[in-house]
Amino acid sequence: MAETVGDIGEFGLIRRIADLLDRHGIRSERVTLGIGDDTASFLPRPGYEVLVTCDTLVEGRHYLSAYITPFDLGSRAMTVNISDIGAMGGRPTYALISLGLKAQMPVHDIDEMYRGFLAELNPFNAAVIGGNLTKSGNGMFIDITLMGEVEQGKGVRRSGAKPGAAVLVTGYPGQSAAGLQLLLHEPDNSKLLDHPLVRVYNRPSHRAQLGEAFAGTGFATAMIDTSDGFLGDLGHICEESKVGAELFEEKIPMNEVLRQTAGVLGKDPYDFFLGESDDYELVVTCRPEHVAFLRSVAAGCGAVPVTEVGRITAARGITLRLTGGEQRPLKASSWDHFRANKDQK
């Protein structure tokens, strides 16, 4: 029988994790104290602000354990946090990982989860410097605190969007929501795990390198990641910047697989784009004359498309200009974990 968390105990598990991190993780020269004391400590880089964010995944709420491997789960939990650091224009540096575990979990699954964490952290030379292990009642949880750094004054906030600015979006928001709907539609179809949209749902990517590059240009005036869905997050920018926005239907990025899948599910593909979806793309505003430069920067960062989908307006509210010219008001909505009618996450 596979060795379980209960078999090796908390301190055995801590040693095992520390050993795995030693072998496969990054050793950062600015970390003055890692795992194994009352706290970790590091020497911050002069001239840089420290960024810090935390995000939690709860079993049965944020992921379906039957449909995701421990490696992908670790990768996903870290990606969510890396995306937030990237959306400020920063670079991830140090992670603390707090796990609520069930005693009967195989130790091998914990190893795999940590490999997933490291798969995302190592490309940034970012290190796991602490955490906490505890037994959880029903269902496990992963709570990650991720720190990062950004040159002093260079962080890109939600509050800097100005009327007339272009609204850009990376990738194809909505893919993750469509992938989740596919899983919920046919919960017993294991072949779905290879579907490209289910893969996006189970192992979302982030655009943190791109976020850092955008911030480096000095041209990105507001930035956010799409963790609450495109419309929800554009809504956050509008609210914090005290502006509105107009979107152009014919410019909304839509790939064929998303369009076809929406058809299969009997849904409007634009609803997937606009609505709640865990894609971790970026929404960025900049002056219209800087769009071409930001797109060329993105082209240098990889194959992710950057699409200009609309304009910031002085008038509040977000509207969609249909291809025929008609204008339709859109209501920004966001994930809300507590309201009974939005309980699917």
CB of 51 to a copy of itself, least distance (A): 4
- CB-wise, 32 or 327, nearer to a copy of itself? 32
| Beta strand 244-248 pairing with 141-151 | unpaired
Nearer to a copy of itself, 62 or 195 (CB): 62
Least separation in angstroms between CB 333 and a copy of itself: 10
Q: How many whole angstroms separate alpha carbon 134 and alpha carbon 268? A: 43
Phi, psi angle pair for 135, to nearest 5°: -85, 135
Residue 91 binds a copy of itself (CB under 8 A): no
Rounded Cα–Cα distance for residues 91 and 209 (Å): 8
Alpha carbons within 13 angstroms on the beta-carbon side of residue 173 total 30
Binder among 53, 75, 170, 285 for a copy of itself (CB under 8 A) = 53
Identify the residue among 129, 167, 215, 238 touching a copy of itself (CB under 8 A). Answer: 129
Applying CB under 8 A, what is the total number of residues that bind a copy of itself? Answer: 77
Binding status of residue 11 toward a copy of itself by CB under 8 A: yes
Among residues 155, 134, 126, the alpha carbon closest in space to that of 31 is found at 126
Write out the two tokens for 321.
Answer: 């200009």
Q: Considering only residues 62-81, where is the footprint of a copy of itself by CB under 8 A?
A: 62
Out of 2, 3, 9, 296, the only residue in the binding site for a copy of itself (CB under 8 A) is 9
Nearest approach, Cβ of 196 to a copy of itself (angstroms)? 27
Residues 6+ apart with CB under 8 A from 320: 246, 247, 248, 249, 327, 328, 329, 330
Give the footprint of a copy of itself on residues 131-170 (CB under 8 A). Answer: 131-139, 141, 143, 145, 147-148, 150, 152, 155, 157-159
Q: Select from 16, 20, 24, 50 the one that contacts a copy of itself (CB under 8 A).
A: 50
- How far CA 272 is from CA of 27, 177, 282, in Å, comes to 41, 6, 16
Closest CB 158 distance from a copy of itself, rounded Å? 5
- Does 225 help bind a copy of itself (rule: CB under 8 A)? yes
**202-226 residues labelled b (16+ CB within 10 A) or e (exposed):** bbbbbbbbbbbbbbeeebbbbbbbb
